[in-house]
């Protein structure tokens, strides 16, 4: 069974630590004990940072005893997706290419967490270079879903989501390029936010697709997710994509009324490829909101049908460009044969250093960017992206939020879709539109169908994460999911 202290909402834990009802060391030790118990079955982590976390926890306890000010995350163990740099800790991106790469600096989000007295408890597993939907494409082996360890946790941030769902971390960070926060949040029945593009600094995030990706928080409840978002958002001069638009303190938004919230339900998110169980669960949430006095209206975003192919052309093209730097000559994996010439070394380093899925995406992206096909594929995809953004802009003139499924399918079994990459790509059909448009989107637990979680996706206009959190809390309160039904309760 899960320790009672670990089941306490993290915003209450911070208060308990501040008032010396529990020490940061006790809470961290309980989390580490939980990790040791669960990890053999789940494999959420690539590396656990045990002793430094306990040392930091003791320092926080001393600060509290001396009546010194502590941060908003004081004493909370936070898991970090292993494509975000933590100084003097390996940042592998779950790839053989970076298996032994030690980050020389902290990402901006890590600096901000540490400044709020958060503890970096470990680096979590992911699909290699964040390219995947199931966290099965990891050089270090797959992560399993704590609700049912025969199933995938979603991806690519599956390790972070599994760590939070399995009570192996209080909070976590992931990155979302086409759904990589919301997918595992849905499959693991937790809260996962993809912020507005530019709201959270990308400095220190190992790039996959620069124009699409954002770092985002995971938590077991909406208020805790808002707490972490409060601590990591804001302008950063070191990130050229960072916005200097002032964001609010999201933990203060929950007292605002949700009455009169205009809800749009885009038909395109409920069509081909969406399982009946998902449709039934998401519509059940919409009708519960209707019973609470909110009104919804079906709408159409006609360009959404082109979102998936446009996304994969853009993402793979940017990946091809970003991953060109990994040649094994300056750092990273290098074949041991010193007799080879430069061309052979370069080729073998990349073939043996990258997994099959990464190589596939590099080749497709290189093809799309090639001289003869640039206009036909990449340029056309960018034009479609503009039209999708206009669809969303028009919708948000009529609605405050848009509701849809987070994932079109229930969590599937390990290995079930590995031999069919297109089937895996299709799983992103409901999440990629928000990345193309740059809008914020959150996945909230919407229900459980035959023991498997279903997430509800809420989308809002740019920089209106406050509406997402308020709507998310309303969904959270109306569903009242029993989080003890998962297998992780008994491991």
Span 298-324, average pLDDT: 97
Alpha-carbon span 211 to 189, nearest angstrom: 28
Residue with tokens 């539109």: 433
Secondary structure class of 217 (helix, strand, coil): strand
State both tokens at 253: 């938004």
For residue 125, list its beta bridge partners.
none
For residue 122, list its beta bridge partners.
48, 79
Note the pLDDT of residue 338: 72
H-only helix segments in 375-464? 380-398, 421-426, 432-437
Which of the residue ranges 4-8, 141-145, 432-436, 442-446 would you say has the lowest mean pLDDT? 4-8
Measured in degrees and rounded to the nearest 5, phi and psi for residue 198 equal 100, -10
H-only helix segments in 94-196? 108-115, 158-165, 182-188
Residue 453, number of CB atoms within 10 A of its CB: 29
- pLDDT-derived band at 487 (thresholds 50, 70, 90) equals very low
Distances (CA, A) of 166 to 157, 160, 282, 339, 449: 14, 10, 24, 48, 19
| b/e map 309-333, b = 16+ CB within 10 Å | ebbbbbbbbbbbbbbeebbbeeebb
The rounded mean pLDDT for the chain is 94
Which of 486 and 203 is assigned the larger pLDDT? 203
- Summarize pLDDT for 67-126 with one digit per residue, the tens: 999 999 999 999 999 999 999 999 999 999 999 999 999 999 999 999 999 999 999 999
Percent of the chain with pLDDT over 90: 87
Which of 45 and 485 is assigned the larger pLDDT? 45
- Summarize pLDDT for 369-402 with one digit per residue, the tens: 998 889 999 999 999 999 999 999 999 999 999 9
Longest distance between any two alpha carbons in the chain, whole Å: 73
Note the pLDDT of residue 485: 43
In the chain, the N- to C-terminal Cα span, in Å, equals 7
- Summarize pLDDT for 151-200 with one digit per residue, the tens: 999 999 999 999 999 999 999 999 999 999 999 999 999 999 999 999 99
Which of 482, 460, 484, 461 lies closest to 471, judged by CA? 460
Q: Which residues carry out catalysis?
A: 81, 156, 180
Span 406-413, average pLDDT: 98
| pLDDT higher than threshold 50 for residue 302 | yes
| pLDDT higher than threshold 70 for residue 127 | yes
| pLDDT higher than threshold 60 for residue 489 | no
Span 456-461, average pLDDT: 98
Note the pLDDT of residue 1: 58
Note the pLDDT of residue 490: 33
Task: For the chain, list the domains and their CATH numbers.
Answer: 4-259+458-490 (3.90.1300.10)
Alpha-carbon span 318 to 209, nearest angstrom: 5
Note the pLDDT of residue 482: 59
- pLDDT-derived band at 257 (thresholds 50, 70, 90) equals confident
Alpha-carbon span 390 to 412, nearest angstrom: 34
């Amino acid at each position: 069974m899960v320790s009672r202290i670990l089941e306490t909402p993290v915003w209450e834990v911070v208060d308990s630590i501040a008032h010396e009802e529990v020490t940061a060391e006790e809470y961290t030790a309980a989390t580490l004990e939980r990790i040791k118990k669960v990890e053999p079955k789940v494999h959420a982590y690539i590396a656990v940072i045990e002793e430094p976390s306990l040392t930091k926890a003791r320092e926080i306890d001393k600060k509290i005893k001396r009546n010194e000010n502590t941060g908003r995350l004081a004493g909370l163990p936070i898991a970090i997706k292993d494509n975000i740099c933590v100084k003097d800790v390996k940042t592998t991106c779950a790839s053989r290419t970076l298996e032994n790469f030690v980050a020389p600096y902290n990402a901006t989000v890590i600096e901000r967490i540490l400044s709020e007295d958060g503890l970096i408890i470990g680096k979590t597993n992911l699909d290699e270079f964040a390219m995947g939907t199931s966290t099965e494409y990891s050089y270090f082996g797959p992560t399993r879903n704590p609700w049912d360890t025969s199933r995938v946790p979603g991806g690519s941030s599956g390790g972070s989501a599994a760590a939070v769902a399995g009570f192996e971390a209080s909070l976590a960070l992931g990155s979302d390029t086409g759904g990589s926060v919301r997918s595992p949040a849905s499959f693991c029945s937790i809260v996962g936010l993809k912020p507005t593009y530019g709201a959270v600094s990308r400095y220190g995030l190992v790039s996959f697709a620069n124009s699409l990706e954002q770092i985002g928080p995971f938590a077991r409840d909406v208020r805790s997710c808002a707490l972490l978002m409060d601590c990591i958002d804001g302008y950063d001069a070191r990130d050229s994509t960072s916005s200097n638009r002032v964001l609010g303190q999201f933990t203060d938004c929950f007292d605002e009324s949700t009455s009169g919230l205009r809800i749009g339900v885009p038909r395109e998110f409920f069509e081909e490829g969406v399982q009946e169980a998902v449709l039934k669960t998401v519509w059940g949430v919409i009708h519960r909101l209707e019973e609470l006095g909110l009104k919804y209206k079906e709408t159409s975003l006609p360009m959404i049908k082109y979102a998936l192919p446009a996304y994969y052309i853009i993402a793979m093209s940017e990946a091809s460009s970003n991953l060109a730097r990994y040649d094994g000559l300056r750092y990273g994996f290098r074949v041991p044969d010193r007799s080879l010439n430069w061309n052979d070394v370069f080729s073998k380093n990349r073939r043996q250093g990258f997994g099959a899925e990464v190589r596939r995406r590099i080749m497709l992206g290189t093809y799309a960017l090639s001289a003869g096909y640039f206009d036909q594929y990449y340029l056309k995809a960018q034009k479609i992206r503009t039209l999708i953004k206009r669809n969303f802009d028009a919708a948000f003139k009529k609605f405050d939020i848009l509701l849809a499924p987070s994932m079109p399918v229930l969590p599937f079994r390990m290995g079930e879709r590995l031999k069919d990459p297109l089937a895996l790509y299709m799983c992103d059909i409901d999440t990629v539109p928000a990345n193309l448009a740059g809008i914020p989107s959150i996945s909230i637990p919407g229900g459980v169908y035959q023991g498997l979680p279903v997430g509800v996706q809420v989308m809002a206009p740019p920089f209106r994460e406050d509406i997402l959190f308020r709507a998310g809390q309303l969904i959270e309160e109306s569903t009242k999911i029993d989080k003890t039904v998962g297998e992780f309760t008994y491991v």
